[in-house]
Amino acid sequence: MSRSASAALTTSTAKARPVWCVDDHSWKEVREKLPSAARGFAEASAFTPDVGRFLLLPDAKGGIAGCLFGLGKRGNEHADPLLAGKLAALLPEGDWEFARAPEDAKLATLAFVLGSYRFGRYRAAKKEQPRLAVPAGVDAKEVLRIAEGIYLARDLVNTPANDLGPVELEAAIRTLAKKHGAKVSSVVGKDLLKKNFPLVYAVGQGSERAPRLVEFTWGKPTHPKITLVGKGVCFDTGGLDIKPDAAMLLMKKDMGGAAASLALAHMIMAAKLKVRLRVIVPAVENSISGIAFRPGDVFKSRKGITVEIGNTDAEGRLVLADALALADEEKPELVIDFATLTGAARVALGPDIPPAFTNDDALWGALAKHAQQQADPLWRLPLWQPYMEMLSSKIADTNNVGGGHAGAITAALFLSKFVSAAKSWLHLDIFAWNPKERPGRPEGGEAHSVRALYALLTERYG
């Protein structure tokens, strides 16, 4: 699909041309050390180190001597830590190296690789792109395993639903599991009822593409049990509570939670973290047909909790409920679920900042630290228990939707009903999409929160 992440890097500096990343303090020093032709051209061009300013410099023979890249004011707390990702689209083809790198060379290198991503499944991508020489002290393997995970998630989210339904998502899961020697299994169609996954089946029963629950395990059984759960709704019409056309345009990304879980799983397995990893993905399509589930229906969940359907467009929490109940049964140390769950989360925090929900203060404190360090933002919202009454039902144990307020919180509270034995639980309501291009973040599918979580798990289990 996309060009491999490794194609954006090189370990050789033999033919690499220099990139001087300069701020308002370092620019004077760099300018004085430039070759005369390059210095004269920079002065004639009135170059200043404003944020993102880019200038190719000529040598005495008319070739390219290198380039200048502006970082803005030193110490600017609002500076984009992934700004170097912009270079992937600006630099001509060939090899380049940081003659003066941004302050965080590892993050700058990763940003360059992430900015090199192009989704090329349906049209020819530009064949030649620039390559960056890995700076001294930067672990290229670590950068690549992170980038490979992000590339995988982006490819999955960017693929339209006609080419990525539950069958194809299962195939992608099996490919990843096989790559790392993980043990994979699935429950498909009406076998979901036999194996007690009634909510997964209910959501997917209206589609000709059979619903399924796919899982794999990896690592030593004696290691701490970490379980990832990803919402895999491959397309969401809203069901009988049908979405308006504008809201349906991006619903190929409603499996973005599954994509994020697979991205993180790849990083964990590639780094050989000392965990026993389990990944659970309920993969369905929420379609409209004569046998689609209806508003007002009541289903008994895997956990035994009966659920009244207040809205068929709140289907993600239903498939997650059965998957979380399964995850909870073995009492893991940590359960993390990813889901493109609510529009309310986007209204509250926008497309770039996923809300995080957990009752584990220590977990949140550590995660918040890594989110800031990795430029992978998160914001904690409360599991506010008084809002639980919004989920009340007169005929069942719970409704699947709350009132007209606090939609992200009530969705998280609904999920919390299905996790009771795990030591810690973290719920992430992600957007899984970049609505516009920014440095290191091309427009399209994205794996929000994954880099921060990988840094946290590496710290704990590396």
378: nearest Cα among 400, 405, 398, 349: 349
288: nearest Cα among 225, 358, 218, 205: 205
Residue the block writes with tokens 């409704």 = 399
With H, G, I as helix, E, B as strand and everything else as coil, classify residue 253. Answer: helix
Q: Are 196 and 312 in contact (CB under 8 A)?
A: no
Q: Give the contacts of 350 (CB within 8 A, at least 6 positions apart).
A: none
H helix or E strand, kind and range, residue 452: helix 450-461
Q: DSSP 3-state helix, strand, coil percentages of the chain (rounded to 5)?
A: 35, 20, 40
DSSP 271: T
Q: Which residues form the catalytic set?
A: 243, 317
Identity of the amino acid at 8: A
H helix or E strand, kind and range, residue 319: helix 316-328
Q: Are 309 and 293 in contact (CB under 8 A)?
A: yes
Angle, vertex CA 285, rays to CA 282 and CA 287, nearest 5? 145
301: nearest Cα among 418, 449, 419: 418
The pair of structure tokens assigned to 144 is 């690549």
How far is residue 148 CA from its own chain's centroid? Answer: 12
Note the helical H segments in 34-84: 36-44
Identity of the amino acid at 116: S
DSSP 242: P
